[in-house]
Amino acid sequence: MLRPNRPPTSYSAAADSSYPTYSYSYGDYNTTSGSRPGTRRGTGRPSTARPRTGASTIARVERQEVVCAIAESRGISPTVGLSFINIDTGEAVLCQICDSQTYVKTLHKLQVYGPTVILCMSTAASPKSKLFSIIEESLIELGSKLTLLDRRYWSESSGMDYIHDLAFADDVEAIKLSVTGAYYAVCCIAAILKYLDLGCGTTFAARSLRIKFESGQGAMLIDVSTIRSLELVQNLQNPKSRDCLFGLLNETQTLMGARMLRSNVLQPLTDKETIIRRYDAVDELQAKEQMFYATRGALKNFIDADKVLTALIIIPKRPSIYTTEQSINHIIMLKAFVLSVSTVYEALSGARCPILATIREICAPENALPIQRMIEETINEDVTYAKQPLELRNQRTWAVKTGVHGLLDVARQTYKENMADAYQYINELSEEHNMKVDLKYEPARGFYIRISTSEIESRDERHLPVVFTNIVRKKKYIECQTLVLMKRNLKVSIVTSGHTSHLDCVQVMNAYHEVVLCSDAFIQEFIEKVRCHMSALFKMSEAIAMLDMISAFAHLVTVYDYVKPRLTDTLGLKDARHPIREKIMQTKFIPNDVYATQQCRFQIVTGCNMSGKSTFIRSVALLTIMAQIGSFVPARSASFPVMNQLFARVGMDDSIECNVSTFAAEMREMAFILRNIDNHSMAIIDELGRGTSTRDGLAIAIAIAEAMVDSKALVWFATHFRDIATILSERNGVVAMHLAVEVSENDTITMLYKAVGGMVQQAHYGLALASVVPLPPSVLADATLFAHILERRLVQKKKMSANVLNERRRRLILDLKEHLLQAYNGSLEGELLASWLMELQKEFVNRMTSINASVNEDDVEGHIEERDDQPEDEGADMMDEVSEEEEHEDQSRSMVSVTSETLSSARAISENGR
């Protein structure tokens, strides 16, 4: 469809010679090729990790026209101003972020809003600033085009003027207050609006733009690589598939709702209160069956209100016939929207929770009725949405009600009489030639005749009577003219092009001219009046979007048996399921329990191949996102701490294309994570260090794991390196777990998919799997031999150090402290609490005694091991280097003593409890 007044995808300076821009060739990249391996310098996240699949690897609800402008203050931690204007939904977002040198937050915002055009200052391009280079390298991924503008368009005073003129009257003061100090963001909005005005001829009507200010806080930061690898909005194998988190959750019924959901999946909330309010809304909606069905019914067939409202607030510099014709369509759609809004009000009667009650209030008749009445008083009830040229022409002529505009009524009467002639002529033609003849109209051709070939003898146009001329065959139809019709077209075309001097039909022309002029002017005046209600209308649209998202969550609760999460300091899941896997799997999905606190924040997950490690750790991340957007989760009970950042390094693709430097890409991703991770972050890491030699891979994995333990983040670390679990398991905050399997007598392994404590016990599961594949028997026999040699060497070297024992003691005491604090803050009281504390004390004493006792045993064991001379085995030399790794074990453990402070505080709490 023709879309006039859209910003050109690559701006040409010719549009306005007074508007200096610089041509930039990034728009020429084939954004769908996905085969441009490279790295994103400075971002830390590699672009080689996986093949790219589309204009943006992240599926959009639909591609929208979004213009973004960007500006920054340079420094150690740069401040970046970003503004976005969505031309399809009439929404402007300003943000100012304190970013790091990797510009991770800036890239996140760009990814979330997916701009089609990014405006940068020309000065940032020569010499290239770091931010400029990073954006330049991300263009393909973002599917954006870069346009350089003169620096002078980033003007704070113009930005403030724009905000003053364009923001809704009710919001203007609040917005001005919130953007105070956000100098860069305000400059950016000025640059975009200037670009749209001068470059694209698009301006917005006064007091009609939805302007929002977003601070850097308030949303969980999920970087681009994580979005992709967790398949949050797009399935990696099949971009069109719904098997991604957004696809699963997208039970919305309106486009506004779907857009809101997508934006939430990409930036989940971090404000506890808001999340809880959403839970309450979902809870109420799913519990009240009648309200739920009434709401779902009311949301059906809602038009894309954002689009319609935006079309009404955009003022094109050079209105075309298209924009004029569409105006009435927009009014008709607006009427449909306000009518539907009232059904939502009724559906929500009896709503109690704050979100549903507020939505109902916004959709109340007193807000929608004035607009509905305005439309009903002005526009004919039987005028419908028109697409075909003749329909549009009739719509434009007859849309305004009789009696509203006197001059228009007179002009229309004259026109009607003349048009009746045309239809009478066609009827006569039909009768005369005994065939069905249709009158059609196109602006360029005027009136013409269309006849189905079935009406003509042997379907051959040569059999048409001679009165029909200019014959063209179009599939099953024949289109033609007659002399009379051509004469009429001449009149009409003279009228529409503004010449009123045709000799014999001045009356007809004047009548039509009058109709169109009066009608168009009247409709524009009417739209001006509608614009006064834009603030209320956009609020309704947002309310509908929110209700739609909430009702989609409620729908999922009923269909998939989800549970309402609680927000606490502990991550605890009972019978958690992977939301996407459980939906697509033919067999039953085995649920798992998850528990993580500061004392078990780093969870090393081991297990056989295909035992479900990746599925397990991914489900933790996906459930956390679901919980933080306000959705219920697939589990029997669930509690989550609010996370500010989520990182995932999972599912490395091994295709040749992206394996150019699998290891380098992996290391860059890990460097990025380590730079940004903190105690409010969650990370899931799968099979780290497999892209290099076993020895180096293990060493690097251990070092990275150590750093992650120190970060105090919640981490799930799936690995086939069992040594990592051995080495780190004594460290405070670390727990080892594995996915259980059952080994039968004939060495076949059955996956149980159950996460249980401790390290995987099966030593040679890789060999077991290889035998199933199967490898040639001789190769398999050699592999088994080498595996046994290696195992013996490792056993020889194992000894318990004093450091390990100290770590065990420390850990035991910290565990005790955590339990005491939980008891202190929990609901246990009186007798129950006292007996629980006694149990705790007993268990503590037992475990401490057994640790102390193990000192002597280990001394003896170590002594025996040292004396035990092992014969040199074939192939042992090959294994030497691997066993050396064990010697580094001690270095990775730090000696930490238990402070008397910790003990006394634990004691104090314990005594309080008693």
Ligand X SMILES: Nc1ncnc2c1ncn2[C@@H]1O[C@H](COP(=O)(O)OP(=O)(O)OP(=O)(O)O)[C@@H](O)[C@H]1O
Closest to ligand X by CB, 670 or 760: 760
Choices 128-136, 313-321, 554-562, 602-610 (CB under 6 A): range interacting with ligand X: 602-610
With CB under 6 A as the contact rule, the residue among 615, 624, 662, 732 that binds ligand X is 615
Question: To the nearest whole angstrom, how small is the minimum distance from the Cβ of residue 816 to ligand X?
Answer: 33
- Work out whether 572 is an interface residue with ligand X (CB under 6 A): no
Closest to ligand X by CB, 116 or 614: 614
CA atoms within 13 A on the CB side of 107: 30
Question: To the nearest whole angstrom, how small is the minimum distance from the Cβ of residue 752 to ligand X?
Answer: 9
Question: What gap in Å lies between CA 92 and CA 174, rounded to an integer?
Answer: 15
Question: To the nearest whole angstrom, how small is the minimum distance from the Cβ of residue 615 to ligand X?
Answer: 3
Closest to ligand X by CB, 597 or 615: 615
Choices 161-169, 185-193, 418-426, 608-616 (CB under 6 A): range interacting with ligand X: 608-616
Closest to ligand X by CB, 85 or 739: 739
Closest to ligand X by CB, 193 or 626: 626
Question: To the nearest whole angstrom, how small is the minimum distance from the Cβ of residue 575 to ligand X?
Answer: 11
Closest to ligand X by CB, 64 or 619: 619
Closest to ligand X by CB, 131 or 635: 635
Question: What gap in Å lies between CA 627 and CA 572, rounded to an integer?
Answer: 12
Closest to ligand X by CB, 184 or 753: 753
The answer to whether residues 684 and 716 touch, using CB atoms and an 8 Å cutoff, is: yes
Choices 319-327, 360-368, 593-601, 606-614 (CB under 6 A): range interacting with ligand X: 606-614
Choices 120-128, 233-241, 400-408, 603-611 (CB under 6 A): range interacting with ligand X: 603-611
Question: To the nearest whole angstrom, how small is the minimum distance from the Cβ of residue 44 to ligand X?
Answer: 25
With CB under 6 A as the contact rule, the residue among 108, 613, 649, 810 that binds ligand X is 613
389 prior amide bond cis, ω within 30: no
Question: To the nearest whole angstrom, how small is the minimum distance from the Cβ of residue 740 to ligand X?
Answer: 11
Q: Could you give the angle at the alpha carbon of 457 between the alpha carbons of 453 and 463, nearest 5°? A: 90
Helix H or strand E encompassing 109: helix 104-113
Question: To the nearest whole angstrom, how small is the minimum distance from the Cβ of residue 573 to ligand X?
Answer: 13
Choices 156-164, 515-523, 605-613, 639-647 (CB under 6 A): range interacting with ligand X: 605-613
Across-strand partners of 121?
Answer: 149
Closest to ligand X by CB, 435 or 610: 610
The answer to whether residues 630 and 588 touch, using CB atoms and an 8 Å cutoff, is: no
With CB under 6 A as the contact rule, the residue among 34, 607, 630, 634 that binds ligand X is 607
Neighbouring C-beta atoms of residue 466, cutoff 10 Å:
5
- 305-313 vs 506-531: helix crossing angle, rounded to 10: 110
Helix H or strand E encompassing 429: helix 406-433
With CB under 6 A as the contact rule, the residue among 44, 612, 691, 697 that binds ligand X is 612
# of chain residues touching ligand X (CB under 6 A): 11
641 prior amide bond cis, ω within 30: no
- 130-142 vs 104-113: helix crossing angle, rounded to 10: 30
With CB under 6 A as the contact rule, the residue among 609, 659, 726, 854 that binds ligand X is 609
Of 100, 96, 148, 150, residue with least CA distance to 125: 148
Closest to ligand X by CB, 329 or 611: 611
CA atoms within 13 A on the CB side of 652: 26
Question: To the nearest whole angstrom, how small is the minimum distance from the Cβ of residue 609 to ligand X?
Answer: 4
Choices 50-58, 195-203, 541-549, 609-617 (CB under 6 A): range interacting with ligand X: 609-617
Task: Compute φ and ψ for 646, nearest 5 degrees.
Answer: -130, 130
Closest to ligand X by CB, 610 or 794: 610
C-alpha dihedral sign at 589, 590, 593, 594: negative
Cβ-closest position to ligand X = 612
Across-strand partners of 739?
Answer: 607, 755
Per-residue string for binding with ligand X, 703-742, x by CB under 6 A?
----------------------------------------
How far are the Cα atoms of 660, 784, 826, 902 from residue 820, in angstroms, in the given order? 51, 48, 10, 12
The conformation of residue 747, written as its DSSP 8-state character, comes to S
Closest to ligand X by CB, 565 or 591: 591
The answer to whether residues 222 and 529 touch, using CB atoms and an 8 Å cutoff, is: no
- Work out whether 345 is an interface residue with ligand X (CB under 6 A): no
Question: To the nearest whole angstrom, how small is the minimum distance from the Cβ of residue 639 to ligand X?
Answer: 21
Question: What gap in Å lies between CA 420 and CA 426, rounded to an integer?
Answer: 10
Task: Compute φ and ψ for 316, nearest 5 degrees.
Answer: -70, 145
C-alpha dihedral sign at 896, 900, 903, 909: negative
Neighbouring C-beta atoms of residue 782, cutoff 10 Å:
13
Task: Please report, as residue ranges, which positions from 485 to 504 form the binding site for ligand X (by CB under 6 A).
Answer: none
The answer to whether residues 206 and 197 touch, using CB atoms and an 8 Å cutoff, is: no
Question: To the nearest whole angstrom, how small is the minimum distance from the Cβ of residue 721 to ligand X?
Answer: 12
Amino acid found at 770:
A
Choices 604-612, 624-632, 815-823, 841-849 (CB under 6 A): range interacting with ligand X: 604-612
Choices 188-196, 401-409, 610-618, 793-801 (CB under 6 A): range interacting with ligand X: 610-618
Looking at beta carbons, which pairs linking 176-182 to residues 24 or more positions away fall under 8 Å? 178/213, 179/94, 179/213, 182/81, 182/94, 182/96, 182/213
Across-strand partners of 442?
Answer: 446
Question: To the nearest whole angstrom, how small is the minimum distance from the Cβ of residue 591 to ligand X?
Answer: 7
The answer to whether residues 747 and 608 touch, using CB atoms and an 8 Å cutoff, is: no
Question: What gap in Å lies between CA 888 and CA 726, rounded to an integer?
Answer: 12
The answer to whether residues 719 and 687 touch, using CB atoms and an 8 Å cutoff, is: yes
Of 190, 206, 192, residue with least CA distance to 313: 206
Question: What gap in Å lies between CA 162 and CA 644, rounded to an integer?
Answer: 33
Closest to ligand X by CB, 344 or 622: 622
Closest to ligand X by CB, 607 or 733: 607
Task: Please report, as residue ranges, which positions from 834 to 853 form the binding site for ligand X (by CB under 6 A).
Answer: none
Closest to ligand X by CB, 340 or 611: 611
Question: To the nearest whole angstrom, how small is the minimum distance from the Cβ of residue 580 to ligand X?
Answer: 11
Closest to ligand X by CB, 769 or 828: 769
Residue 847, Cβ density class (10 Å: 0-12 exposed, 13-18 middle, ≥19 buried) = middle
Of 153, 605, 192, 533, residue with least CA distance to 374: 533
- Work out whether 611 is an interface residue with ligand X (CB under 6 A): yes
Choices 185-193, 428-436, 466-474, 611-619 (CB under 6 A): range interacting with ligand X: 611-619
Closest to ligand X by CB, 24 or 753: 753
Question: To the nearest whole angstrom, how small is the minimum distance from the Cβ of residue 744 to ligand X?
Answer: 18
Per-residue string for binding with ligand X, 576-595, x by CB under 6 A?
-------------xx-----
Question: What gap in Å lies between CA 782 and CA 805, rounded to an integer?
Answer: 38
**Can you tell me which residue has the tokens 């609901």?**
827
With CB under 6 A as the contact rule, the residue among 614, 631, 806, 910 that binds ligand X is 614
With CB under 6 A as the contact rule, the residue among 369, 422, 610, 699 that binds ligand X is 610
Task: Please report, as residue ranges, which positions from 739 to 758 form the binding site for ligand X (by CB under 6 A).
Answer: 753
Closest to ligand X by CB, 610 or 671: 610
Question: To the nearest whole angstrom, how small is the minimum distance from the Cβ of residue 610 to ligand X?
Answer: 4
Question: To the nearest whole angstrom, how small is the minimum distance from the Cβ of residue 677 to ligand X?
Answer: 22
The answer to whether residues 682 and 715 touch, using CB atoms and an 8 Å cutoff, is: yes
Of 729, 701, 609, 706, residue with least CA distance to 885: 701
Binding site for ligand X (CB under 6 A): 589-590, 607, 609-615, 753
